Amino acid sequence: MTVIGITGPSGAGKSLFCSYLEELGCLHLDCDKIYHTLVDSPSECTRALEAEFGASVIKPDCSLDRIALGAIVFAPGADGLRARLNEITHAFVLAEVRKAIKSTDKSCAVIDAPLLFEANFEKECDFTVALLASPECRLSRLTLRDNRTAEALRARMNAAPSDEFYSSRATYTVINDGDAEKLRAEAEKILRASIK
């Protein structure tokens, strides 16, 4: 089995890129979706987050209040809190990723992880790809996708590592300027290279 790690900042086009790889036969493991599944109902993960960040981050139905938690961990100067959040959640997400890879009959899996390197998930991968885009492109995409203020989106963007952080660590770097056909061709090229 070939395992490819996909990462990059919010709004760079990771989901679209991964959807092309999925169409080409790869198992797509979206770490954000896995995380949401873990926190959308009572779980060991939500209990651990409540213990760390307090009852204010838990909704009455015992699911995680992601907006309340985001306000805490994306606030200015909250780097330590964000690191602690990641430390808690990465172990739960990685366990689910490993379980899915072990149980699939596909020959290729794609780990779609915004924090691939920070979580050390690249150790699970044969190759890694960094998706990058200009801040203007990213903000435009995030504005269309997320129901959040421009100020909140910029705060999230500013909290992300630099492009160089991603490109210096990845096997491949793909610049997503909005040309879907070019992005699809890059996905095909990288998949061909990775399964040689």
pLDDT by residue (tens digit) across 109-162?
A: 999 998 899 899 999 999 999 999 998 888 888 888 887 877 888 878 887 899
Q: Are 124 and 116 in contact (CB under 8 A)?
A: no
Average pLDDT over residues 34-50: 95
pLDDT of residue 163: 93
More confident: 148 or 104: 104
- Map out the domains of the chain as residue ranges: 2-194
Nearest to 178 by CA among 146, 139, 151: 139
Q: What DSSP designation does 106 have? A: -
Average pLDDT over residues 19-45: 95
**What average pLDDT does this structure show over 45-73?**
96
Question: In angstroms, rounded to a whole number, what is the distance separating the alpha carbons of residues 155 and 146?
Answer: 13
150 burial type by CB count under 10 A (0-12 exposed, 13-18 middle, 19+ buried): exposed
* Contact assessment for residue 127 and residue 190, using Cβ atoms and an 8 Å cutoff: yes
Whether the CB-CB separation of 169 and 128 falls below 8 Å is answered with yes
Q: At 149, give phi and psi (nearest 5°).
A: -70, 155
Q: Looking at the predicted structure, is the pLDDT value of residue 36 above 80?
A: yes
- Residue 181 pLDDT: 94
Tokens 């044969």 — which residue?
126
Which CATH code fits 2-194?
A: 3.40.50.300
| Chain segment 70-83, per-residue pLDDT in tens | 999 989 999 899 98
Amino acid occupying residue 46: T
What's the distance, CA 6 to chain centroid? 8
Q: Is the pTM of this model over 0.75?
A: yes
Q: What is the per-residue pLDDT for 156?
A: 81
Q: How confident is the model at residue 196 (pLDDT cuts 50, 70, 90)?
A: low
Cβ(72)–Cβ(95) below 8 Å? no
Q: Which of the pair, 106 or 144, is modelled with greater confidence?
A: 106
Q: What pLDDT does residue 140 have?
A: 85
Please report where in the chains the tokens 């139905």 appear, as a residue: 61
